[in-house]
């Protein structure tokens, strides 16, 4: 068993090393699930086989010592210098391969349940959500607000509320579901989205915008025009440079329900299909989003982002956001 455990830890180190070095895209949910299953198997084996076997061996040792003392007493030898307490403790001690498997099972399964059904941490890797979220922000995502989903499969089993316009959501990137993206919902099923000349229109009505002056983007080391944007009673900040072109190319991109969209030199418009959402980055001129690769299916949703729990370069970033 020790050799098997060493081999499993070697495979884990190889997988994590390749993931870290970029040789493949890791799946942390699947990894936690497999670790829960493997350590759970060790935990059951420890509880119902290995621990009882060690306890039986320790009991047998004590019984043998008691029988030996009794025989020596019959021979008139009253003093025996052979304390078995240390040997008994060594027999009861978990070997390293059980300590690092069965011993970790409660921690791993606790993290798996917490991450799968309650809250999941993410790190912001790019500037597409500036000024709301900055590169390096460590955020929390509410996993149950949009319904309870099976881990790994992401299959919804209990419905809850649907995403609303203005929500910041984490989702599996439709062109490559192995990747997680974060954007803001600007269109829900049935909405008509028009983005032309750097302005957003929702169902025929311009989305309210108000200038907030300039924002210094530390990532790009430049100042950018900053605005507030409002969906209903939800207000958030965006970066939009009216001097930049809205041109998306001469041909419409290819993605599911692309026939719902029209592109021109001034911008684009889309009708959001049922069960899908139209998302955009708050850094409108520096975001690859639904304007380019299409709609986000409901089954790709991971959860709603709501809190920055750490930014090691700027502790003032800690807190909630819109």
What's phi and psi for 282, nearest 5 deg? -70, -25
Choosing from 128, 246, 287, 290, the catalytic residue is 128
Whether residue 195 is preceded by a cis peptide bond, meaning omega within 30 degrees of 0, is: no
Look up residue 23 and give its two tokens: 């040789």
183 is catalytic: yes
Give CA–CA dist 56/140, Å, rounded. 48
**270 dihedral zone (left: phi>0; alpha: psi -120 to 50; beta):** beta
On whether the CB atoms of residues 289 and 126 are closer than 8 A, the answer is no
Closest by CA position to 231, among listed 149, 313, 165, 167: 165
Give CA–CA dist 143/147, Å, rounded. 8
The three-class DSSP label of residue 250 is coil
Choosing from 36, 116, 143, 183, the catalytic residue is 183
What's phi and psi for 197, nearest 5 deg? 55, 45
245 is catalytic: no
**Burial degree of 85 (CB within 10 A; 0-12, 13-18, 19+):** exposed
Name the residues annotated as catalytic: 128, 183
């Amino acid at each position: 068993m020790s050799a098997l455990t060493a081999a499993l830890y070697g495979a884990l180190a190889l997988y994590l090393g390749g993931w870290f070095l970029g040789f493949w895209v890791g799946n942390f949910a699947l990894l936690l699930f497999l670790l829960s299953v493997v350590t759970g198997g060790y935990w059951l084996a420890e509880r119902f086989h290995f621990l009882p076997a060690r306890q039986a061996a320790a009991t047998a040792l004590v019984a043998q010592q008691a029988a030996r003392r009794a025989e020596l007493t019959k021979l008139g030898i009253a003093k025996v210098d052979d304390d078995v307490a240390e040997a008994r403790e060594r027999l009861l001690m978990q070997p390293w391969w059980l300590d690092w498997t069965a011993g970790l099972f409660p921690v791993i399964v606790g993290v798996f349940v917490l991450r799968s059904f309650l809250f999941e941490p993410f790190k912001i890797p790019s500037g597409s959500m500036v000024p709301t979220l900055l590169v390096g922000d460590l955020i929390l995502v509410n996993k149950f607000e949009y319904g309870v989903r099976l881990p790994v499969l992401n299959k919804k089993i209990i419905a809850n509320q649907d995403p609303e316009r203005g929500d910041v959501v984490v989702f599996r990137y439709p062109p490559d579901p192995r990747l997680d993206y974060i954007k803001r919902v600007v269109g829900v099923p049935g909405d008509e989205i028009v983005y032309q000349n750097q302005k957003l229109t929702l169902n025929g009505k311009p989305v309210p915008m108000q200038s907030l002056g300039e924002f210094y983007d530390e990532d790009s080391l430049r100042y950018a025009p900053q605005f507030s944007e409002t969906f209903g009673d939800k207000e958030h900040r965006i970066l939009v440079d009216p001097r930049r072109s809205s041109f998306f190319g001469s041909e419409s991109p290819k993605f599911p329900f692309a026939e719902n969209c029209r592109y021109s030199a001034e911008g684009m418009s889309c009708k959001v299909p049922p069960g899908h959402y139209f998302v955009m980055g708050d850094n409108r001129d520096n975001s690859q989003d639904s304007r380019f690769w299409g709609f986000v299916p409901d089954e790709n949703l991971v959860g709603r982002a709501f809190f920055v729990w750490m930014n090691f370069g700027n502790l003032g970033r800690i807190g909630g956001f819109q």
